[in-house]
Structure 1
Amino acid sequence: MPTGFISHSDCLKHEMGNYHPECPERLTAIEDQLLLSRINDFLIKLTPPLATEENLNLVHSKEHIEFVKSIRPSAGYAEIDGDTLMNPHSWNAALRAAGAGLLAVDAIMNKELVNAFCSVRPPGHHAEPNKAMGFCFFNNLAIAAKYAVSKYAIQRVAIIDFDVHHGNGTEHAFMQDERFLMCSFFQHPLFPYSGTNNTAKNMLNTPVPAFTNGQTIRQLVEEHWLPRLNEFKPEFIFISAGFDAHREDELGQMGLIESDYAWLTQQIVAIAKQYAQGRIVSCLEGGYNLSALSRSVVAHIKELAEI
């Protein structure tokens, strides 16, 4: 079965002002690099639906959904925090971003795809059940994971987050729910300054200092993540695929390169093949150096598609 690539032009219309690092050009850089790498023909391209408010409510409170909907501007920008703004197109972009993960789950469970990469924005892993923050409005990956469990009776879901920032929203969505195991590394201290205190048993958080390189990350994955994943035996894997731990990305200070993302993906694919019939949904999170982002995404997709 093929690998899916899921994106939508609505995700290009959301923007938060000149020079904001979470910009529409992130997606066009990925598309351009896919063309240059000549792997487009190996992917099934799909366009996502708009997630419904019922879908969002799998993770987010009705009050949060109404708040985000109520502040969308007719022109200009509405500010949620200093880093997170809405323009008139942000609501639809956020619904498409959440809808991509839902479409991916359905296509995989219906055996139309083996796995999928969702090239969408705004990202999601900082969005908490009751709060938008950190460029994120709704938690795309958490919504998709809850959807898989509620619609298809999946009993064990692994969530892998390799963004340079801790996925606080995803942690809050799943902490203490033993159907989910979340494995993450992240630079610490760094925004959102979480993930190190009162960690739930189903959260395998591995904070690392600035300037941590790929070899150190590979070692911690082999020593900590893989034994726990093999013990858990996930039936579906979801990836918060942030590429801002790349050494060229200025929003963090870590030292990963494309080959490290390829290696990480190889390990995840192997676990998915062993326990989850290969089922993986990967959702774009961070990554703000356009060249490093696009090269890393292509390395990631090549391993998902095994090409």
Structure 2
Amino acid sequence: MAVTRSVVVGTGSALPARLVTNDELTKTVDTSDEWIVQRTGIRQRYLAGAGETTSTLGIAAAKAALDDAGLGPEDIDLVLCATSTPDHTFPSVATQIQAGLGIRSGFAFDIQAVCAGFVYGVSTADKFIASGSVRRALVVGAETFSRILDWEDRTTCVLFGDGAGAIVLEAQDGEGTNEDRGVLTSHLRSDGRHREKLYVDGGPGSTGTTGHLRMEGKEVFRFAVGSVTDVIADAFAATGTSADDLTWFVPHQANRRIIEASADKLGIDRGKVVLTVDRHGNTSAASIPLALDAARKDGRIKRRDLVMIEAIGGGFTWGAALIRW
């Protein structure tokens, strides 16, 4: 049966100019390189400086993805930006990316699902493409989490970094089998009962302030490993595939121990796991597209590879998508 698939035709990424190592953090935070690496696998991260915002990073990543795809602004019908750190309460970052790229048609909006935002964005764009509403979509994950961190809280401020990644999805005809290129299936979940485990203690509708990130690390770890693998199992069930069929597993880059424990639970060979958390830290919605771009540019992800993306974010929100590259 003929179907319309959302095929990845370009990737791009952007990082702030300032690289901050664990050793540099020890000068201002009561921590150590050994402590951070042992518990998270993070060795460095990039932090936004003056003139660098979520939208400027998003524009740079989106432009790189367009260039990679050999497309121009006139070719894009939809811009989706997954972010929890917009430049402004409104307008959306997506519309700023749209304007920054010179896109004059179509529509743009933000998605707020915290670290799972990019998976939500891929799933949403896929639905628009599959319905015939749009032909090409830019899906961007962009964050400046450094600006919502409490830099006196050593349990959280060492974990996060800033950056942006993007992909271009294009409608292409498929035969309705797992051999089609494109998004084969996506599965999303949320459970708002877990708010207190990972949240920001401010907002325009409550305190009138930006607030700071607050996290119960042990509870997040337990939930991430114990509960969110359901969406991956659902993706396997929907396509009749298994962990053995995967070429690459590209999870949200939050913590190396979470990633490896989840892979082990699912029976995914650790050699198939793309890890960039050591280089970027946790960049929330930007982490998966940053990892995808890195793995494609260094030759790991190749055409027709079977790639699983997966993430969990505050709320909790979580999701997975299976993509034939």
TM-score by length of 2: 0.32
Whichever of the two has the greater Rg, that structure is 2
RCO greater where, 1 or 2, for CA within 8 Å and sep 6 or more? 2
Give me the TM-score of the superposition, normalised by structure 1.
0.33
